[in-house]
Amino acid sequence: MKYFIRKFLILILTVFLISLMTFVAFHVIPGDPARLILGTSASEEAVEALREKLGTNMPLTVQYRNWISGFLRGDFGTSIKYRMPVASLMHDRIPVTTLLGVMSLVLILLIGIPLGIFSARVRNTPGEHVLNFINILGISFPNFFLSIIFIWIFGLTLHWFTPGRYISFDRDWAGCLRFMFWPALSVAIPQTAVLVKYVRTAMLEQLREDYVRTARGKGVGETAILYVHVFKNAIVAVVPLIGMIIASVLSGSIIIEQVYGIPGIGKLLISSVTSRDFPLTQTLVVYIAVIIVVINFLVDIVIQIIDPRIRLSDRS
Amino acid sequence: MKKGTIEFRIGFILTGIILFLAILSVFYTPYDINAMDKTARQLAPSLQHLFGTDNYGRDIFSRAITGSRFTLLVALSTVGSCTVIASALGLISGYLGGPVDEIIMRLIDAVSSFPDILIALIVVTILSYGKYTIVIALCVTFVPSFTRIVRTATLQFKNAEFVRNLRVFGVSDLRILLVHIFPNTFPLLLSTIVIGLSNAILAEAAMSYLGLGIQPPTPSWGRMLQESQAIIYNAPWAAIAPGIMIVMTIMGLNSIGEGIRKRYLA
Amino acid sequence: MKKRFAAAVLAVLMTASLTACGGKSAGSSDAAAGTGEGGTFIYGLSTEINNFDPFTSTTADAKSIYYNIYEGLVKVNEDGSEFLPAVASEVTRDSDSAYTFTLRDGVKFHNGQDVTMEDVTYSIDLAIKSKINGFDNIKDYSVDGNKITINLNTPDIGFLAYMVQAIVPAGSDDNGELALQPVGTGPYAFSDYEVQDHVTLVKNNDYWGEPAHLDEVEVRFLADQTELLTAFQAGSIDGFSAYGGIVSQLEEGTYNPYYSNSNAVQVLALNNAVKPFDDVRVRQAVAYAVDADEVNELVNYGHAVIVGTPVIPGLARYCNTETADDYAVDTAKAKTLLEEAGYKDGFSFTVKVPSVYPVHVDSAQVMVNQLAKAGITMNIEQVDWATWLDSVYTNRDYEATIISLDGATAYPAAYLSRYQSDAGNNFINYKSDAFDAKYKEATTATDEDVQTGLFMEAQQILSDECCSVFIEDISTVRVWAPSFEGCADSPLYAIDFASVSKVQ
């Protein structure tokens, strides 16, 4: 219990540090949202009038204080660029990025775990080298390069999907999934390769353990050993990786959403930074950080449930 | 055959080719990398232009091999400076523990939960886009993971038998840290560095892709990819050439990393 | 040649509009009998429009879209030579500093209400409050029935240019509602909007003038020109605007191109306050070293219009076209000038280019090579748009930059005012008493022909003193899918969707 309280306090501290970093960053980077909205043809007087209307003429420290006090009351403020509540903007975007993330994760697990097990099984055969090669190749493809290739081959040449035409889930769920498959695959491939490597290593380590030898001695078949005993233990080694993968998927989706034109959290984040939209950026950055921190927290708990022998306080 | 030999062979061949091309580009490129020619736009690969030409008639082979020089330079300086900073932070944090450790680790936590692209955008904007500003930006995003690894390794040795003995003999903390603990973190650090290099190349490409990396007309692989995106349908080679260079380099480095892991760490 | 084609299309459209106007009372049922009516057009835009308030959102792209939703008392004709009545049916110039507008009968807002004098005064007050260009010159106004007389502080025969500013319903922006619920009188009405995704416009069936052909226009927001190109190739958008370099990637015959001016002039702006650009000879050397034709060929595939002045060629009446040849490329002369200025071995400088505009980044790359031939080293530094606006445009912390400058109104003052020594937006720090005097003389002139001549002379001064290197109007190609046709020209940065129709 004490461990969880400590973890929770650290979580709050981390999130606060992140919001402070965003504030400092906005303090030092140049840019004026009012001028961005009005463009080059507007006079300085018009810009000043708009600053007043938007409230960006106040010192940033005051804006930050207002944002924090609002945040603590559950009010994330109003976006300067979009002139609507940050909460409603996020409400529309979170499902989009979540869908991209979940699809990527499903692909990663669906391909990565069986392939990892398989590559553990074919150890010391020529198949191992082939798999190894494919795996290293997978890790070596940057996700945006994959995206360009996918758009070129499957979008423009084979017409399997229509680039630039994001279909929302509410409008047409099947069309949405068909479209999102490609960005999800672009995010998934490099991460899958990482997972395969980890699963394989974990399986091989487990196979060396005493209990496996004992099981073998009792005449339990190789397949049964692999799938029942070893897999259960290997998964403990893989769970922490899932947390890392979710974090990579989240940051990977920022660039992928940009390339495929998906209106998700990542695209909104880039837009909020380039338009110097302080309340929106603050909320998005904190949201992303909370997700990452909470997922790591959950990973700890899952490990604890699967294998209580691991003392939580040892993990950093 | 020793463990990891195959990985080393593949790795050294691939990185060797890339290094050779990078060095070659210092002395010789078939064409001026910036020379434009409107009559030679988007030519397919041929004997005159090994990798074809881009939208401005620039020779892609010349640009790709010169790009390798700039990309590798960025990757090496990033990982180099990052290793120095992270080693210091990790050693101090792990060895001293207590409040110092707590402060360093909480900052590291915060930085690592901050989206990398945002960090890069902020650092690059603050420092203005110098040719190599991207190195500092990438370094900031890499320090957390490096620091964690050095810290974990330091923790392992902190309470080891030989360190306790040294303390009994009155050896100073600084000396223990630098002379006795630090060298022991090398094998782990080495494989981290190799993987870090490949991550830095990917990150530089991603940043250039967003316009934050090396400034035009200097070629880098990420920039070339970004510029070729518009002509992907008519001149796919313009994207494929720098893409393949990236894939080859990452494959080479990852193979070496894997080899180190197999031979020295497993 | 291609421009002539666009003009021909325009002529056809105008004839069509005249006939339609003749039978205005017949109503929309008559129009439906004609060809090419109805349908949905999906237009791709490489920036996103995020609010539709015509008083506080005045970026070029925003204006290009809500040109279709809002109208002013007057609107500009295709070549910028005159202002036609719009929400007003008649305009009279009572004196040098007084104009009277008569409200047109039967103009309805998209919400069904008739436009009243109360709406007109509300809109004018709003424009004054929002400090819209030109409205600061309004001394007062008086309303008499369906006529409004506006009195100016100082005489301005170009005042009509400002009256294209939108007329909106009284009270419609009391709490900033216009930003997301725009109501105007234009041929298209706002229908729905999804952040970072699209905005849908529907045909205004009660439009006072010639109604639009299409039932619906969906403007989709994409990330950049590359994405527009990909989306068009994939068939997910029916049209987009791009510069020549992007359009060159499309296969001939798979699209209908409409070539028009972009109505902004791309300039290599030199900060006149920093060394060595404080020396006119150095600026001239740069101008001689830059080959605008080559930039046009390489980046714009020859579609751009070379200029030597900040006034857009779209304002044919005012643009001093002779300045285009003042600095024809001459590397030897550039070197001589540099030597005279004491830079025998050349010099180096940094050009800050906004990374959101690939056309500027590409032009910069071409110019790097050209300047190198004259011994000048130009380093490119990409900056994001917000940084550019802040450090280059507002704080003038730069050596050189490449940008396209547009004007708020279709009037030369909108393009020339920034070159006055004390202008707040004189970001190139140009100081010239000769220009200041000439500009003042031009803007206060009360005879139109005299004024036109004075504006021409003022532009010649800018060129002689080489305040910056004006390159070209980069030109915009509107690319329509083969199933759509028509696109009216405009001296404003606008896309007139009412002129687009389906091919039968």
CA distance B199 to chain C (A): 24
Torsion of CA C479, C482, C486, C490, to 10 degrees: 0
Q: How far apart are CA C267 and CA C264, in angstroms?
A: 9
Residue A310, C-beta contacts closer than 8 angstroms, at least 6 positions apart: A236, A303, A304
Residue B213 belongs to what domain range?
Answer: 5-265
Query: What is the enclosing helix (H) or strand (E) of C93?
Result: strand C88-95
Contact C364 B216 (CB under 8 A): yes
**CATH number for the domain that contains residue C424:** 3.10.105.10
Phi, psi of C146 (to 5 degrees): -100, 20
Tell me, what DSSP letter sits at residue C114? B
Phi, psi of C23 (to 5 degrees): -105, 35
User: How many angstroms separate the first and last alpha carbons of chain C?
Assistant: 26
> Beta strand pairing status for C305-306 and C469-473?
antiparallel
Give one DSSP letter per residue of A8-76, joined into a string: HHHHHHHHHHHHHHHHHHHHHS---HHHHHH-TTS-HHHHHHHHHHHTTTS-HHHHHHHHHHHHHTT--
**Residue that is last in its domain, among C178, C195, C214:** C178
Q: What letter represents residue B37's amino acid?
A: D
Q: Is C368 found in the same domain as C405?
A: yes
Q: Is C113 found in the same domain as C60?
A: no
* pLDDT for position B196: 86
Query: Tokens at residue C243, please?
Result: 């510069």
Tell me, what DSSP letter sits at residue A220? -
Q: Residue written as tokens 């003995």?
A: B165
Q: Is C169 found in the same domain as C89?
A: yes
> Beta strand pairing status for C40-45 and C216-221?
parallel
Q: At C132, is the secondary structure helix, strand, or coil?
A: coil
Residue A15, C-beta contacts closer than 8 angstroms, at least 6 positions apart: A286, A289, A290, A293
Residue C195 lies in a domain: yes
CA distance B129 to chain C (A): 6
Contact C130 A46 (CB under 8 A): yes
* pLDDT for position A210: 65
Where helices occur in C130-215 by DSSP H, the ranges are none
Closest-CA residue in chain A for B244?
A141
Residue C152 lies in a domain: yes
Tell me which residue of C456, C494, C476 sits closest to C305, measured CA to CA.
Answer: C476
CATH for the stretch A94-279: 1.10.3720.10
Residue C318, C-beta contacts closer than 8 angstroms, at least 6 positions apart: C80, C311, C411, C412, C452, C455, C456
Q: How confident is the model at residue A307 (pLDDT cuts 50, 70, 90)?
A: low
A236 or A9: which carries more pLDDT confidence? A9
CA distance C234 to chain B (A): 11
Asked if the C-beta of A248 comes within 8 angstroms of chain B's C-beta atoms, the answer is no
8 A C-beta contact, residue B74 and residue B214: yes
Contact B56 C366 (CB under 8 A): yes
Q: At C199, is the secondary structure helix, strand, or coil?
A: strand
Tell me which residue of B119, B174, B156 sits closest to B141, measured CA to CA.
Answer: B119
How many domains does chain B contain in total?
A: 1
Q: Is C434 found in the same domain as C335?
A: yes
* pLDDT for position A10: 83
Query: What is the enclosing helix (H) or strand (E) of C293?
Result: helix C292-300
Q: At C303, is the secondary structure helix, strand, or coil?
A: coil
* pLDDT for position C5: 40
CB contacts of B225 in chain A (<8 Å) are 144-145, 148
Contact B129 C297 (CB under 8 A): no
User: How many angstroms separate the first and last alpha carbons of chain B?
Assistant: 16
Q: Which of A142-146, A249-253, C49-53 has the lowest mean pLDDT?
A: A249-253
Long-range Cβ pairs for the range A297-302 (8 Å, 24+): A297/A7, A297/A11, A298/A243, A299/A239, A299/A240, A299/A242, A299/A243, A300/A7, A302/A239
Residue B223 has pLDDT above 80, yes or no: yes
What sign results for the dihedral spanned by CA atoms C56, C492, C221, A175? positive
User: Cα dist. C39→C476, C484, C504 in Å?
Assistant: 25, 10, 11
Q: Is C484 found in the same domain as C468?
A: no
Q: How confident is the model at residue A316 (pLDDT cuts 50, 70, 90)?
A: very low
Query: Tokens at residue C425, please?
Result: 């937006």
- Give mean pLDDT in consecutive 10-residue pieces for chain C, a chain of 504 residues: 40 36 35 64 89 82 88 87 90 90 93 94 93 89 93 89 92 87 94 90 92 94 87 91 86 89 92 94 96 93 92 90 92 95 93 90 94 94 88 92 88 91 92 95 89 94 95 91 90 87 87
Q: How many CB atoms lie within 10 A of CB C493?
A: 24
Q: What is the 3-state secondary structure (H, E, C) of C310-341?
A: CCCCCCCCCCCHHHHHCCCCCHHHHHHHHHHC
Query: Tokens at residue C166, please?
Result: 């939108």
Residue A219, C-beta contacts closer than 8 angstroms, at least 6 positions apart: none
Asked if the C-beta of A244 comes within 8 angstroms of chain B's C-beta atoms, the answer is no
ipTM comes to 0.84
User: Cα dist. C306→C243, C310, C364, C404, C470 in Å?
Assistant: 14, 11, 16, 13, 8
Contact B216 C384 (CB under 8 A): no
Best to test chain C binding among B127, B133, B229 (most C CBs inside 10 Å): B229
Contact A156 B205 (CB under 8 A): no
Mean pLDDT for chain B? 87
8 A C-beta contact, residue C232 and residue C256: no
Residue B18 has pLDDT above 90, yes or no: yes
Asked if the C-beta of A298 comes within 8 angstroms of chain C's C-beta atoms, the answer is no
In tens, the pLDDT along A217-247 reads 666 666 666 566 667 777 776 777 787 788 7
**CATH number for the domain that contains residue B51:** 1.10.3720.10
* pLDDT for position A224: 67
Residue B43, C-beta contacts closer than 8 angstroms, at least 6 positions apart: B49, B52, B53, B57
Query: Tokens at residue C481, please?
Result: 């899918």
Query: Tokens at residue C301, please?
Result: 């595939």
**In the predicted model, what is the mean pLDDT of residues A104-120?**
88
* pLDDT for position C20: 35
Query: Tokens at residue C24, please?
Result: 């205005």
8 A C-beta contact, residue C126 and residue C173: yes
Contact A53 C56 (CB under 8 A): yes
Asked if the C-beta of A46 comes within 8 angstroms of chain C's C-beta atoms, the answer is yes
β-bridge mates for residue A180, sequence order: none
Contact C136 A45 (CB under 8 A): yes
**CATH number for the domain that contains residue C104:** 3.90.76.10
CB contacts of B38 in chain C (<8 Å) are 297-298
Asked if the C-beta of A144 comes within 8 angstroms of chain B's C-beta atoms, the answer is yes
Where helices occur in C407-496 by DSSP H, the ranges are 412-416, 433-444, 448-464
Q: How confident is the model at residue B129 (pLDDT cuts 50, 70, 90)?
A: low
* pLDDT for position C404: 92
8 A C-beta contact, residue C448 and residue C291: no
Tell me, what DSSP letter sits at residue C99? E
Tell me which residue of C122, C124, C90 sits closest to C105, measured CA to CA.
Answer: C90
C201: left (phi over 0), alpha (psi -120 to 50) or beta: beta
**In the predicted model, what is the mean pLDDT of residues A127-146?**
84
**Residue that is last in its domain, among C152, C178, C204:** C178
Q: Is C433 found in the same domain as C324?
A: yes
By CB atoms closer than 10 A (0-12, 13-18, 19+), residue A71 is middle
Tell me which residue of C199, C18, C300, C383 sits closest to A82, measured CA to CA.
Answer: C199
Residue C83 lies in a domain: yes
Residue A311 has pLDDT above 60, yes or no: no
Contact B205 A142 (CB under 8 A): yes
Asked if the C-beta of A151 comes within 8 angstroms of chain B's C-beta atoms, the answer is yes
Residue ranges of E strands in C286-397? 305-306, 348-354, 377-383
How many domains does chain C contain in total?
A: 3
Nearest to C233 among B56, B229, B233 (CB): B233
Q: How many CB atoms lie within 10 A of CB B83?
A: 20
Asked if the C-beta of B194 comes within 8 angstroms of chain A's C-beta atoms, the answer is no
8 A C-beta contact, residue B225 and residue B54: no
Chains that touch C (3 or more CB pairs under 8 A): A, B
Residue C206 lies in a domain: yes
Q: Is C486 found in the same domain as C426?
A: no
Nearest to B110 among A17, A149, A152 (CB): A17
Q: How confident is the model at residue B22 (pLDDT cuts 50, 70, 90)?
A: very high
What percent of the residues of chain C are helix, what percent strand, and what percent coil, each to the nearest 5?
35, 20, 45
Q: How far apart are CA A218 and CA A197, in angstroms?
A: 30
CB contacts of C358 in chain B (<8 Å) are 230
Q: At A174, is the secondary structure helix, strand, or coil?
A: helix
8 A C-beta contact, residue B94 and residue B156: no
β-bridge mates for residue C88, sequence order: C103
Q: How far apart are CA B177 and CA B170, in angstroms?
A: 13
A202 or C72: which carries more pLDDT confidence? C72
CA distance A128 to chain B (A): 12
Q: Which of residues 105-164 of C touch A (CB under 8 A)?
A: 129-133, 136
Tell me, what DSSP letter sits at residue A215? H
Q: How far apart are CA A132 and CA B254, in angstroms?
A: 11
Residue C221 belongs to what domain range?
Answer: 2-68+179-261+478-503
